[in-house]
Amino acid sequence: MSPDKLRYQVNQIATFFASQPEAEQVEGVADHINKFWDPRMRAQLFEITDQSTEGVKPMVVAALEKVNRPKGVGSAG
């Protein structure tokens, strides 16, 4: 998937959770990605955001700490 499309998708998730109570927003984004994105998509997300978070909503950036990083991807691999 192209980096632009992946950014668009993850930002759409953040847009949805922006309507939730503030305390649940970041957790909701992370939970959604962990439940519904396969490891390849999560790996690509980290490959992109490890280089730059430009174009990614702050809520997504905050949620990345709670997203399960696939083994072998970035610093936690």
Q: What is the pLDDT along the chain (77 residues), one digit of tens a residue?
A: 899 999 999 999 999 999 999 889 999 999 999 999 999 999 999 999 999 999 999 999 999 999 999 987 765 44
Residues shown for the chain: 77
Kindly report the pTM of this predicted structure. Answer: 0.89
Which pLDDT score, from 0 to 100, does residue 75 have?
55
Query: Phi and psi at residue 56, in whole multiples of 5°?
Result: -110, 130
13 with 60: CB under 8 angstroms?
A: yes
